[in-house]
Structure 1
Amino acid sequence: MEFRQLLYFITLADEKNYTRAASTLHIAQPSLSAAIKKLEQELELSLMDRSSRGFRLTSEGEILYQEAKKLIHHYEHVSFEMDRLKQQGPLELSIGLIESSMFFVSGILTQFKQEYNDVRIRLLETLSLSDVEQALNNFDIHLAITNQYIHKDDIETIPIYEERLVALLPPGHRLNEQKTLAICDLDGENFIVCKEGFQTRRDILNAFSKSGIKPNIQFEIERFETGSSLVEDGLGITVVPENYIRYANNARCTSKAIEGAGISRTVYLAYDKNRYLPPIVERFMELVKASFRAD
């Protein structure tokens, strides 16, 4: 296989039409057809379902399409990085984050910048599983600090710490006087929870289900900050990571441990193990892992 053949194949799969694909590639249609035919002969596989009336890839073609896209994307990324280095100098470190990770990330970034003062750092929120997977697959980030375990062969997911989930109550709530809570104490309360696709939502609803209680969900959110604001305004209660409380400004709200429910979540360090990671990325990950080994 040649890089050019893969580029032709991907373009054809995207356009689903030889004429449009040839036009996009700025080549003659017979040249495109010959290149695709040669690729199939070299692989000894049929990549297009020619029995179908419309354009359709075979199952082998689908696999090649997905893997070739990664390869082309990686090639373009490396080329871009080399050009950028010539023009701009030091590399950039891009990190995907969940909200509660800021309780420790700031300290690690301080240490990292002492070693690599010239490196530019981009922090992107990657909250849901699809956010994390898309950011890693598109090379938008070098690594992610996430509570989503990613079941993909090319993604390494390393547990770094576990944190409890605690109830956040509005000012003047009847449960504020209790030292701790049980899941049954939340029965019937207006409940604020993350939307579908978030691991924290699954963890919380699973705990309710085990207790035989159906939560009275009134609001679905993406960010804990939004949920906390709703709680502060007296619109309901929510459950948030204990470490989020450590840096969030919710002075008027009260947090309570939930005993007996075993509600917690694991936070992971995730990265694409098939992608080249510059030394600065490896160093940042080592600082993260070392921080929690020390604990």
Structure 2
Amino acid sequence: MELRQLEYFVAVAQERNFTRAAEKVHVAQPGVSAQIRRLERELGQELLDRSGRSVRLTQVGAAVLPYARAALAAVEGARLAVDELTGLLRGHVAVGTVTSHTVDLPGLLAEFHNDHPAVEITLAEANSDQLLDDLRTGHLDAAIISVGRTTPAGIESQPVDDQPIVAAVGHDHELAVHPVISLDTLRGHALISLPRGTGLRARLDEACAAAGFAPRIAFEAGDPEFLAQLASRGLGVAILPGAFAEARSEQLRTIAINPPELRGRLVFAWRADGPNSPAARVLVSRACGMLRAVAQH
């Protein structure tokens, strides 16, 4: 019995398809099929039911699967233990991020890669809700996300940014004469916002619900720059992070919103029970150190 046979068996069990399993383990499909057949011959029983449109585990296969997973996990654990003792990091680190933030993420990842070239790094962009789900399920080791006043349960974090959420309009808009407006002033106005699932939109929806109305979203898009362009053309009131809007004063008039509790808070987050690997722990530690250093200057 070989480890690769167990690896291929686990991949097929997860994907329920030989082609997708072969892509996952980066081996040609005939090679995967042949190795699993050898494993079945050695055990004297079929592990997979190949008769349907999707591959299913036989009763024997279902019994063997947890042992196969445990064997693979034990081998990976042994490798990681040796790597930690020898100072050699390898493996994979998965990082996620929202679209707009001030973190020098390319610089952080490049520095980490230079120091640990054996570690594969992947980066995914999504909204905060999706990133939070991926952190909790272990698909991501760390992510830059938007949160409310408190960090979600089961998550540890290092602050990245905390700033007011503002209204931004073109200079000819009727609200442009006001330096400050109440949240209720936005009732009935055409609003331009990030989509549901983003932290900024969640803060807006929460604040409006507390004020007794639902925001009238006329336009939504995932790129804050596009929202700013729509507002500058007179198409509505953009809801944006304060610093982002103020940096575009030639295009937009920034208006503060009362109550001031309407704020956007970004954090660098990871699971409270710890990152998935030594490599991920090193990256999280390095990121936190970088963010603390930036905050002190």
**Deviation per residue, 1:126-162 (Å, 9 max, x gap):** 44432576699667xx743221589696xx5304143
Identity of aligned residues (%): 20
CA distance in 1, matches of 2:44, 2:270: 36
Judge conservation of contact 1:194–1:220 (CA < 8 Å) in 2.
yes
The 1:243–1:55 alpha-carbon spacing in structure 2 relative to 1, beyond 3 Å, is same
Judge conservation of contact 1:167–1:239 (CA < 8 Å) in 2.
yes
* 1:27 aligns with one of 27, 34, 41: 34
Counterpart of 1:87 in structure 2 is none
Counterpart of 2:293 in structure 1 is 290
Judge conservation of contact 1:193–1:220 (CA < 8 Å) in 2.
yes
* Alpha-carbon RMSD: 5.0
CA distance in 2, matches of 1:25, 1:291: 49
TM-score by length of 2: 0.63
Given residue 172 of structure 1, which amino acid in structure 2 is its aligned partner?
Answer: D
Q: CA deviation at 1:274?
A: 1.4
**Deviation per residue, 1:225-282 (Å, 9 max, x gap):** 1111100111111211123235x43522011111126211321112461123375663
Judge conservation of contact 1:157–1:268 (CA < 8 Å) in 2.
no
CA distance in 1, matches of 2:212, 2:42: 61
Judge conservation of contact 2:138–2:276 (CA < 8 Å) in 1.
no
Judge conservation of contact 1:97–1:145 (CA < 8 Å) in 2.
yes
Given residue 291 of structure 1, which amino acid in structure 2 is its aligned partner?
Answer: V
Judge conservation of contact 2:97–2:131 (CA < 8 Å) in 1.
no
CA distance in 1, matches of 2:174, 2:131: 37
Alignment of 1:124-135 (within 5 A): 125-130=125-130
Indicate the SS of the match to 2:279.
coil
CA distance in 2, matches of 1:128, 1:180: 28
Indicate the SS of the match to 1:234.
coil
CA distance in 1, matches of 2:100, 2:253: 17
Q: CA deviation at 1:178?
A: 1.6
Judge conservation of contact 1:184–1:211 (CA < 8 Å) in 2.
yes
**Mean CA deviation greater in 123-132 or 219-228:** 123-132
Counterpart of 2:88 in structure 1 is none
**Deviation per residue, 1:159-191 (Å, 9 max, x gap):** 414322111112211212222111111111111
Alignment of 1:119-268 (within 5 A): 125-130=125-130, 143-147=142-146, 156-160=155-159, 161-245=161-245, 248-260=247-259, 262-268=261-267
Counterpart of 1:275 in structure 2 is 277
**Deviation per residue, 1:12-51 (Å, 9 max, x gap):** 3313479x9773504165434467899x9xxxxxxx99xx
Alignment of 1:5-44 (within 5 A): 5-16=6-17, 23=30, 25-27=32-34, 30-33=37-40
Gaps of 5+ in 2: 23-28, 84-91
The 1:244–1:9 alpha-carbon spacing in structure 2 relative to 1, beyond 3 Å, is same
Aligned residue pair count:
256
Given residue 166 of structure 1, which amino acid in structure 2 is its aligned partner?
Answer: V
The 1:180–1:53 alpha-carbon spacing in structure 2 relative to 1, beyond 3 Å, is same
Given residue 275 of structure 1, which amino acid in structure 2 is its aligned partner?
Answer: S
